[in-house]
Amino acid sequence: MKTLLFTAVLAIIALSSCNKGETLSGAGATFPAPFYNVVFKDFSNASGIRVSYGGIGSGGGIRSLQDKTVDFGATDVFLSEKEQAEMGAEVLHIPTAIGGIVLSYNLPGVEGLRLTNELISDIYRGVITNWNEPKLQEINPGISLPDRKITPVFRSDGSGTTAVFTEYLTKVNSDWANNIGEGKSINFPAGIAAKGNPGVAGIIVGTEGAIGYIGSEFALALNMATAMLQNSSGNFVAANVESISLSANIDIPADTRVVITNSSDPNAYPISTFTWILVYREQAYNNRSEVRAQNLKGLLQHVISPAGQEIAAKTFYAPLPAVAVERTRALINSMTFEGKTVN
Amino acid sequence: MKDKIFKTILLLASCLIILLTAGIVYGLVSKSIGAFSEFGFFGFINSSEWDAQKDLYGALPFITGTVLTSTLALIFCIPFSLSVALFNGEYFRNKKISTIVSAVVDLLAGIPSIVYGLWGFYTLRPIMINMGVNDQGFGVLLASIILAIMIIPYASSLSAEFIGMVPNDLKEAAYSLGATQLEVVTAVNLPVARSGIFASYVLAFGRALGETMAVTMLIGNTINIPAGLSDTGNTMASIIANQFGESSGLKLSSLMAIGLLLFLITAIINFVAKYIMKMMNK
């Protein structure tokens, strides 16, 4: 009995001390998690530095960074001035990839459905309730839409996906702006709700007549039917890696805190967002070593490198356009340790 | 000496449990004070507004959803669980068939909640749609039916035990007077075992109140007071499961407050049930 206990204690000590190698940890949005899991592993294989990422939601990630329990946070919605002030020190927003938000639907036999922002707003406000509504049919002259009730599906949990989706509708549709507004969790007047992209996707796949907004990486990976949306130039654009990447083809400010929905590029998909990693500019806090800061910088450089961006495309996120990569590189190079640039 | 050590260990373990419970209550109360002081206790439980944009939170839709689904589940489960209990506790007591039936019913209790959710999502929901309950199948009715199946074992196995405990003298007296088996069941077994049966249904109701995963998958998660059985809704447990991840400040405090309310409701129900059982046994 005693020897058994002794071996157990030894085993626990051995297990908990075997990961003595260098590590980095981060937490935040679930949206980029599939990309981060792959690209961080790629980085670990090359450098030997273990990186762990917890997809706990951007709110939790920001809180963890603020509590200094992680090396970086991650979010799909950039910090407001007020939130930045609450962080205690200057925080850098490092864009890592672009994601779109697509409207996926379940109508057997219907392909290439077209939607305008007005139609999306009407469907989610419960104004249009049937697929054979003349307004819908008018935009889709080549398709015969069935007489079936529309079931809009939305997120039951607070989500950056909801925030970007409603930000877009608030910006382009006055009915939406006046009645619903924008935010991470919204009380939609019509439809049903489910948790996370998988929950929403599950309901769409299982319910004829359903339509829901989900992250493009999820819909594209599963090959779900997605609607073509009308962008700011009036073109109907299908959601794919290229059209989503084009939405960042705009003037990007030096701090990269910019909304890229309703992009002015004529071929861009209209509902897209950067996804950011958040780090403190001054890396010397909480007794962190300079090596740790260097490792973090190495990780960020790897994520925006051509190899890292290729992984983004492989995991169905849109890679950053050249201008954005340039801005991001400058931001990463502005990281300091005790006032001196991290090398 | 060994006796003393053993006693101390038992004492410590028991105290630890009390401390843990106290710690949970303290954590819930201290975190939910923010919401209660902002909206007032009755304001919070009476308001049906849950709006993150305006930072206004009220628990009424969730309390209604929880009470409605659990009560319906209890009603749906009674015919089945009572039949199973009589089958195992009286008609086929100590027979081989009853061991099989009770083993299968106990198996129902061991199925993880998420599996019930999956079954409801992929098997029962299409049936609901075909029956024309509503367009997508989700809602109070679907959630209640699954809940009812989940709580049948809790209600039936305990009831069976109490029905089986009815003294043979009483039953034999009834038989000697010429009563049929049905008459014995209705006139002797059920009245004698009623407080035990009542206790088992209270236990089952308590299970239904706190059930989270399966209900979240099936109720539709819309924040409204359900207008009927085919309407979608939300429960106290599922709003917490859905929204704790991205919440902070007043919203987090409101979720904690709902957690505290759920805790209180379950505690009150257990207390009331124990009290009634005590009165019945007098």
Whether B232 sits inside 8 A of A157 (CB atoms) is no
Which of A207, A231, A248 is the C-terminal boundary of a domain?
A248
Contacts 24+ apart (CB under 8 A), A201-207: A201/A104, A202/B121, A203/A151, A203/A153, A203/B136, A203/B138, A204/A104, A204/A105, A204/A106, A204/A153, A205/A106, A206/B121, A206/B122, A206/B125, A206/B126, A207/A106, A207/A151, A207/A153, A207/B129, A207/B135, A207/B136, A207/B137
Contact A45, A72 (CB under 8 A): no
Whether B242 sits inside 8 A of A157 (CB atoms) is yes
- CA–CA dist A261, B145 (Å, integer): 43
A92 and A203 fall within a common domain: no
Q: Considering its fold, how many domains does chain A have in total? A: 2
- CA–CA dist A208, A194 (Å, integer): 16
- CA–CA dist A228, A268 (Å, integer): 11
A225 and A105 fall within a common domain: yes
- Any B CB within 8 A of A177 CB: no
- Please provide the size of chain B in residues: 282
Q: How many Cβ atoms are within 10 Å of B130's Cβ, its own excluded?
A: 9
**B-contacting residues in A 209-228 (Cβ below 8 Å):** 209-210
A140 and A219 fall within a common domain: yes
Q: B60 Cβ partners below 8 Å, 6+ apart?
A: B45, B46, B47, B48, B225
Nearest to B248 among A63, A157, A191 (CB): A63
- Any B CB within 8 A of A194 CB: yes
The pair of three-digit structure tokens given for residue B102, joined into one six-digit string: 């009770």
Within a domain: residue A257? Answer: no
Q: What is the residue range of A54's domain?
A: 2-99+273-341
Query: Which positions of chain A have pLDDT values less than 50?
Result: 17-20
Quick one: which of A262, A260, A279, A230 has its CA closest to A321? A260
Contact A331, A277 (CB under 8 A): no
A134 and A17 fall within a common domain: no
Cα B250 → chain centroid? 29
- Any B CB within 8 A of A29 CB: no
Opening angle at CA A216, ends A212 and A222, nearest 5: 85
Rounded to a whole number of angstroms, the CA Rg of chain B reads: 22
A88 and A117 fall within a common domain: no
Nearest to A181 among B53, B217, B232 (CB): B53
Residue type, B42: F
Contact A204, A196 (CB under 8 A): no
A135 and A195 fall within a common domain: yes
Give the domain CATH number at A295.
Answer: 3.40.190.10
In degrees to the nearest 10, what's the CA dihedral of A156, A162, A167, A169? -80
Phi, psi of A77, deg, nearest 5: -125, 120
All residues of chain B having their beta carbon less than 8 Å from the beta carbon of residue A159 are 246
A225 and A187 fall within a common domain: yes
Q: What is the pLDDT of residue B89?
A: 87
Among B135, B225, B240, B244, which would you mutate to test the A interface (most chain A Cβ atoms within 10 Å of its Cβ)? Answer: B135
- CA–CA dist A13, B170 (Å, integer): 63
pLDDT in tens, A244-264: 999 998 888 989 999 999 999
Sign of CA dihedral B247, B248, B254, B257: positive
Residue A195 to residues A295, B140, B217, Cα–Cα distance (Å): 35, 18, 8
A139 and A172 fall within a common domain: yes
The DSSP string of A248-290 is T-S---TT-----TT-SSTT--SSEEEEEEEEESB---TT--H
- Any A CB within 8 A of B121 CB: yes
The DSSP string of A73-130 is EEESSPPPHHHHHHTSS-EEEEEEEEEEEEEEE--TT--S-EE-HHHHHHHHTTS--B
* Per-domain residue ranges of chain B: 50-280
A77 and A122 fall within a common domain: no
Whether B247 sits inside 8 A of A158 (CB atoms) is yes
A8 and A83 fall within a common domain: yes
A143 and A215 fall within a common domain: yes
Within a domain: residue A140? Answer: yes
Within a domain: residue A265? Answer: no
Nearest to A185 among B52, B126, B222 (CB): B52
The pair of three-digit structure tokens given for residue B72, joined into one six-digit string: 């319906």
- CA–CA dist B92, B33 (Å, integer): 54
All residues of chain B having their beta carbon less than 8 Å from the beta carbon of residue A187 are 50-51, 53, 223
Within a domain: residue A49? Answer: yes
Residue written as tokens 């405990």?
B165
- Any B CB within 8 A of A146 CB: no
- CA–CA dist B16, A224 (Å, integer): 52
Nearest to B222 among A57, A192, A206 (CB): A192
Whether B246 sits inside 8 A of A191 (CB atoms) is no
Q: Give all strands of the β-sheet with A91-105 in edge-to-edge order.
A: A50-55, A23-28, A72-75, A272-280, A91-105, A210-215, A151-155, A192-194
pTM: 0.85
Third-level CATH fold of B50-280? MetI-like fold (1.10.3720)
Half-sphere exposure for A183 (CA within 13 Å, toward CB): 18
Whether A158 sits inside 8 A of B136 (CB atoms) is no
Half-sphere exposure for A119 (CA within 13 Å, toward CB): 22
Contact A305, A105 (CB under 8 A): no
- CA–CA dist B118, A314 (Å, integer): 30
- Any A CB within 8 A of B264 CB: no
Q: What is the pLDDT of residue B31?
A: 92
Q: What is the pLDDT of residue A5?
A: 64
Within a domain: residue A264? Answer: no
In order along its 282 residues, chain B shows pLDDT tens digits of 889 999 999 999 999 999 999 999 999 999 999 999 999 999 999 999 898 888 899 999 999 999 999 999 999 999 999 999 999 988 888 889 989 998 999 899 899 999 999 999 999 999 998 888 888 889 999 999 999 999 999 999 888 888 888 888 999 999 999 999 899 999 998 998 888 888 889 889 988 998 999 999 999 999 999 988 889 999 999 999 998 877 878 999 999 999 999 999 888 888 877 887 777 666
Task: Give the residue from chain A lying closest to B242, CA to CA.
Answer: A157
- Any B CB within 8 A of A149 CB: yes
Q: A289 Cβ partners below 8 Å, 6+ apart?
A: none
Q: What is the pLDDT of residue B196?
A: 85
Within a domain: residue A267? Answer: no
Q: A25 Cβ partners below 8 Å, 6+ apart?
A: A51, A52, A53, A54, A70, A71
- CA–CA dist B192, B194 (Å, integer): 6
Within a domain: residue A162? Answer: yes
